[in-house]
Structure 1
Amino acid sequence: SNGAVLDAGIGPYQGKGTGEHGLFRGLKACFVAGDVMLADSYYCSYFLIADLLRRGVDVLFEQHGARSTDFRRGERLGVRDHLVQWPKSARPAWMSAEEYRGYPDEIKVREVKVGKKVLVSTFLSPSKMPKAELGKLYWQRWNVELDLRNIKTTLGMDTLRCKTPQMCEKEFWAYLLAYNLIRLLMAGAALQADVLPRQLSFKHTLQIWVAWSRRQFLSGSGEDTATLFVLIAQIRVADRPGRIEPRAVKRRPKPFPRLDRPRQQARMEIEKYGHAKKLGA
């Protein structure tokens, strides 16, 4: 994979249809037969797996915390590796009775324990997809987290600056357009250098492209893209499997309260009452 964005779901910040599952249902058309979906435990549900199986899409999820796994049940394939039938879950409130009847009474899935994680997959054959290969495949899901970091931190989409919902949506898609442009450059450079796109640095590609485009604009030169691809492929990302990082920020927040009212109103309050005290003062 090269990390490009195929589609995205946008919805209100609260109310019906704002959950990840609700937004994902609008993106299922992106999948075609032969695709594989990797996702965390939040997506490990009966209805989602059944929907993807209809499309010929295989899945590999982490087991949901609410579902217990008993490797003494089902058809044993190996150590902590078995096939099991999942019965159809109760009909959720958003699903019609007719749609509910269209789902099978059971689906067959494979449950394996790799390290400390229990994985659920529709790759049922241990000869075609050994347990160790499932573990290696699932670890690639971490690339999604790195891609989100590139979009939000490297490109700066962590905070949208537009003021209306319509403009925020346009800003959102503009960021994704820029992100895919960088991914396209990485794919071209990887093809020329005979490496995988994941082996190249997103940050380095962004920096090279910004400098290159500015130089092209100022000089008016028509240097070919082959030179650009050579520069992009100079920096390779090291293979660092199994990285563990704390979910914490190192720098302390600044000791000022949040601006939770219109700026003009805050100015009037300062004129009337003076500046608010710093946090912890």
Structure 2
Amino acid sequence: MSSLLLPQIPSTDTSAYCQARARLPEKLLEKLFNDSARNLENKVTQEHLWCGRKVLVIDGSTVSMPDTKENQKEYPQTSSQKKGCGFPIAKIGVIFSLVTGAAIALCIDVMNTHDIKLARNLYSFLKPNDVLLGDRAFCAYADMFAITKLDCDAVFRKHQSRTTTMRKGKIVGDCDKLVTWYKPTRCPKGLSKDEFDALPPSITVREIYYYIVIPGFRSQRVSLITTLLDKTSYPTLEIVGLYYKRWDVELDLRHLKTTLGMDILRCKTPSMVRKEIHVYLLAYNLLRSLMWQAGNTYNTPPLRLSLQGTRHHLIHFIPKLEIAGSRKRNRLYRTLLKVIVHKEVPDRPARTEPRTKKRRPKAYPLMTKPRHELRKQLQTA
């Protein structure tokens, strides 16, 4: 009888949690991520748009994961590393909204996948009248045509393989001209013969070039290629200012990988790795939704709010929100929104910092042999 009165000690075995997590369908998490992005984008009004257009920013990055046989088979490590000395790495392509900062679309592939291949898998998420913003990796003849065929437009930095000359093209303004691009003579990698044959013999694009004189900036001359040909509707300075905002995508990826911790994943199978990535993006979008709600409620630009600060405030409020009734929960939620906008991140244009690291690494050498070989060396030393 006395044994029945003893308190039950909770089990420390996490297998039930892991099994339940594994049963979650991958498509379900992908759908939840897409729904979170769609719900936030539906809140964007005309006043938030750039020249009446919705702007999306595209970029690629990598994430690492535990060194298991399943992960190595699906997402192998770099060929420059010896077997057993590296970690499986996946390449991700993400499209972000320039207005809300939310992640709109995701593509996952092996590490040696070129950014432009990821982009071609993401074009299906574009909607008519969207403007796609990206760096020079995405500036290709076939892609400029594919984007315009979707009734969208593109603003990319000019690829380094294309030479810049002032003798060709129709001048439409200062440092602004219309040029004709001709179809490549050979089919580029990543295109099938049918896709290559479907390309037109030439396309007209707009080239804008300008100089950067800010100390610390690596680029001194920038050439932009865009399909926005109307200089009246899309002035030169508006496009230059738009490309300057492309840096926001680097900050968004840093939030995902550093602030939220997606840089080093924990799951040991490829399926769970993909689920983990979708959950990170879902959590990121929910934070962006909270920032959007707080900013618009208290007349503060949502992108000037701190995502890390929003995360910390939400974590502190969750225990109270869980036990509160409906009326008190509403008051707590309004208080949470007010706390989030209490201290906005200052706008510091053209801010530069030296590209150096202050924190010293540990004095351990890098692993150049598998762990079992190193153990043998220790035993025979």
TM surpasses 0.5: yes
Correspondence 1:186-205 to 2 at 5 A: 186-205=291-310
TM-score (structure 1 length as normaliser): 0.88
Q: Partner of 1:223: helix, strand, or coil?
A: helix
The percentage of counterpart residues that share the same residue type is 37
Farther-moved stretch of structure 1 (140-149 vs 90-99): 90-99
- Of the three residues 20, 27, 30, the one matched with 2:125 is 30
- Of the three residues 43, 55, 76, the one matched with 2:150 is 55
In structure 2, the residue matched to 1:125 is 230
Distance change in 2, residues 1:256/1:105 (3 Å): same
For the pair 1:143 / 2:239, whether they are aligned, the reply is no
In structure 2, the residue matched to 1:206 is 311
Partner Cα separation in structure 2 for residue 267 and residue 132 of structure 1: 59
In structure 2, the residue matched to 1:279 is none
Partner Cα separation in structure 1 for residue 370 and residue 337 of structure 2: 47
Distance change in 2, residues 1:216/1:126 (3 Å): same
For the pair 1:103 / 2:205, whether they are aligned, the reply is no
Farther-moved stretch of structure 1 (65-74 vs 265-274): 265-274
- Of the three residues 139, 146, 157, the one matched with 1:44 is 139
Distance change in 2, residues 1:163/1:267 (3 Å): farther
Distance change in 2, residues 1:181/1:121 (3 Å): same
Partner Cα separation in structure 2 for residue 129 and residue 36 of structure 1: 12
Q: Partner of 2:310: helix, strand, or coil?
A: helix
Q: Partner of 1:9: helix, strand, or coil?
A: strand
Higher strand proportion (structure 1 or 2): 2
Partner Cα separation in structure 2 for residue 12 and residue 259 of structure 1: 23
CA-CA distance at 1:194 after TM superposition: 2.4
Equivalent residue pairs, number: 269
Distance change in 2, residues 1:25/1:133 (3 Å): same
Q: Partner of 2:261: helix, strand, or coil?
A: coil
Correspondence 1:1-281 to 2 at 5 A: 1-14=99-112, 18-89=113-184, 90-115=186-211, 116-217=221-322, 219-220=323-324, 222-224=328-330, 225-259=333-367, 265=372, 268-269=375-376, 272-273=379-380
For structure 2, the 5+ residue unaligned runs are: 1-98, 212-220
Q: Partner of 2:233: helix, strand, or coil?
A: coil
Q: Deviations over 1:53-73 (max 9, x none)?
A: 001111111111110111221
Q: Partner of 1:257: helix, strand, or coil?
A: coil
- Aligned 8 A contact 2:117 2:190 in 1: no
TM-score (structure 2 length as normaliser): 0.66
Partner Cα separation in structure 1 for residue 358 and residue 264 of structure 2: 20
Q: Partner of 1:216: helix, strand, or coil?
A: helix
Partner Cα separation in structure 1 for residue 208 and residue 143 of structure 2: 19
Partner Cα separation in structure 1 for residue 172 and residue 319 of structure 2: 58
For structure 1, the 5+ residue unaligned runs are: 275-281
Distance change in 2, residues 1:258/1:162 (3 Å): farther
Farther-moved stretch of structure 1 (132-141 vs 223-232): 223-232
- Aligned 8 A contact 1:71 1:80 in 2: no
Farther-moved stretch of structure 1 (40-49 vs 265-274): 265-274
Distance change in 2, residues 1:73/1:267 (3 Å): closer
CA-CA distance at 1:45 after TM superposition: 0.8
Partner Cα separation in structure 1 for residue 351 and residue 279 of structure 2: 31
Letter in 1 for 2:276: E
